[in-house]
Chains A and B, each alone.
Chain A
């Protein structure tokens, strides 16, 4: 079975600081990788995704993530965070061979707080 590890459960940063949230997964085959964000009181929404190709993917709101296959990692980054980035962030994975219609495996989430 797959598993996803997010290294930091709680992160507190000041505005304009750089952000990196770690994500590692256990599956050794082809994977699809996702970062979802849950802003306070809002639906879970997709930040970015990786399926194949360029391992550096860009998402919404200035976020990006890098897939490093040798490290089984898909870390999320943002060069300068804003107060509005305060949210819960989830890394998720599914097996690429199955086409991904059989559900996602999520990490436990990182609660990010940005202080003005």
Chain B
């Protein structure tokens, strides 16, 4: 089945520890994204990547880091610098638009719920 997998589903970490969330897609999509979802806040963009070995900061990148060494994978590291890391993290992917007047539908993974104790 084609899709986006995120692991683990639930993650618990002690305060001050870095933690890496996995995101893998087999949709052959070029673009990948990380969002954070908090109750009553909607989704906010953390980082995105349109091509291997390149990525850009989103609206709330502070305290997070990413890598894009393979097209299929876009792991997110929540560092100890993130002041409020407990949240639901969603990964998404999409094709790149074919021209200036096209659009991309983003497909989402099942999410990882991170709790920092």
Total interface residues on A, CB under 8 Å, equals 30
Q: Is B2 an interface residue (CB 8 A)?
A: no
A56 interface residue per 8 A CB criterion: no
Q: Which residue of A lies closest to B31 (CB)?
A: A101
Q: Counting CB contacts under 8 A, is B12 at the interface? A: no
- Interface size (B, Cβ < 8 Å)? 32
| 6 A-B residue pairings within 8 Å (CB atoms) | A44-B92, A51-B103, A92-B43, A100-B103, A101-B97, A108-B42
- What is the interface of chain B, defined by CB distance below 8 A to chain A? 30-31, 33, 35, 40-45, 48, 50, 56, 58-59, 90, 92, 94, 96-97, 99-106, 108-111
A interface, CB within 8 angstroms of B: 1, 4, 6, 9, 32, 34, 36, 43-46, 49, 51-52, 90, 92, 94, 96-97, 99-109
